[in-house]
């Protein structure tokens, strides 16, 4: 079978000898993850994104370690095309063992200015596309008794959703859907996991059409390769949820432990200081 996917013991290395499909693989976290998977021994890395020219660059890097890797340009907005994409990939390269739903679209817009159409556009790529693509490869994984699905979320769900309410909402939906999927897959040999990265040095945070201005540069922003390393570490662990840094894990814990105090602190930071004689 093309791709030479090795099935068998579900406890075996989830990367080495596997066929891995990565969405949003043309740049940033997706590109770094695709290359890291190839370097870690994946037999075939399947790259999916809109920009074919950028995919070719990443494909060259992947093929240095995984020669049978391939690219499939696709626009995830077209949900109806995703089941056919999965069928083509598996027909040409073999069953998908590992799916990384990484593709995402930014939306920096105040909630008071956000339209329903804008929210729907964000949800289609950030939430519905992972759901549809997972649904396309999941039956085969369950039949074989092995598979991994890693969904990439965002610290936008664990910090303050200022000006990114639509984006954070789409990622929050993905998080709870992934949790439900993980629980429903118990006993099947297939596992769903969640990676929650923070600000990363990618074009995702750069100026773009239909978005408000980016936030000020974050001096603690991570390199995509570091986030990819965190994703691979999560894959090799028994954890459901992983973070790209200890600081992100601590922030998430602080908000979950006491959301009222956490958000009160955020509001205090955002509220302009009063001026005048009474100050």
For 179, counting Cβ atoms within 10 Å of its Cβ (0-12 exposed, 13-18 middle, 19+ buried), the class is: middle
Torsions phi, psi for 206 (to 5 deg): -90, 165
Catalytic member of 5, 26, 69, 153? 153
Torsion of CA 89, 120, 185, 240, to 10 degrees: 100
Look up 153 and say whether it is catalytic: yes
91's tokens: 């027909």
For 219, counting Cβ atoms within 10 Å of its Cβ (0-12 exposed, 13-18 middle, 19+ buried), the class is: exposed
Alpha helices in 49-161 (DSSP H): 52-63, 82-93, 116-123, 129-144
Catalytic member of 26, 167, 170, 255? 167
Look up 107 and say whether it is catalytic: no
Distance (Å, rounded) from C-alpha 37 to C-alpha 59?
12
Question: Any idea what the Cα angle at residue 150 is, between residues 122 and 203, rounded to 5°?
Answer: 50
Look up 171 and say whether it is catalytic: yes
Distance (Å, rounded) from C-alpha 59 to C-alpha 71?
7
Residues annotated as part of the active site:
153, 167, 171
């Amino acid at each position: 079978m093309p791709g030479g996917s090795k099935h068998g013991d579900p406890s075996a290395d989830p990367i080495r000898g596997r066929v891995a499909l990565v969405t949003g693989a043309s740049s940033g976290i997706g590109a770094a993850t695709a290359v890291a998977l190839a370097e870690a021994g994946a037999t075939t890395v399947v790259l999916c994104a809109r920009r074919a020219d950028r995919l070719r660059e990443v494909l060259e890097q992947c093929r240095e370690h995984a020669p049978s890797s391939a690219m499939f340009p696709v626009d995830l907005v077209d949900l109806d095309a995703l089941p056919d994409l999965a069928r083509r990939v598996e027909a040409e390269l073999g069953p998908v063992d590992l799916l990384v739903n990484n593709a995402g679209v930014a939306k920096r817009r105040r909630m008071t200015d956000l339209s329903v159409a804008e929210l729907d556009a964000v949800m289609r790529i950030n939430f519905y596309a992972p759901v549809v693509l997972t649904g396309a490869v999941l039956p085969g994984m369950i039949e074989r008794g092995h598979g991994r699905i890693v969904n990439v979320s965002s610290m936008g769900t664990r910090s303050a959703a200022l000006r990114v309410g639509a984006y954070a909402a789409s990622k929050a939906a993905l998080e709870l859907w992934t949790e439900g999927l993980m629980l429903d897959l118990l006993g099947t040999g297939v596992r769903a996991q969640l990676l929650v990265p923070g600000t990363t040095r990618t074009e995702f945070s750069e100026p773009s059409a239909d978005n408000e201005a980016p936030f000020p540069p974050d001096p603690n922003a991570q390199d995509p390769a570091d986030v990819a390393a965190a994703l691979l570490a999560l894959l090799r662990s028994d954890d459901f949820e992983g973070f790209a840094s200890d600081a992100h894990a601590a922030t998430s814990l602080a908000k979950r432990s006491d959301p009222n105090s956490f958000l009160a602190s955020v509001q205090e930071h955002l509220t302009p200081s009063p001026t005048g004689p009474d100050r």
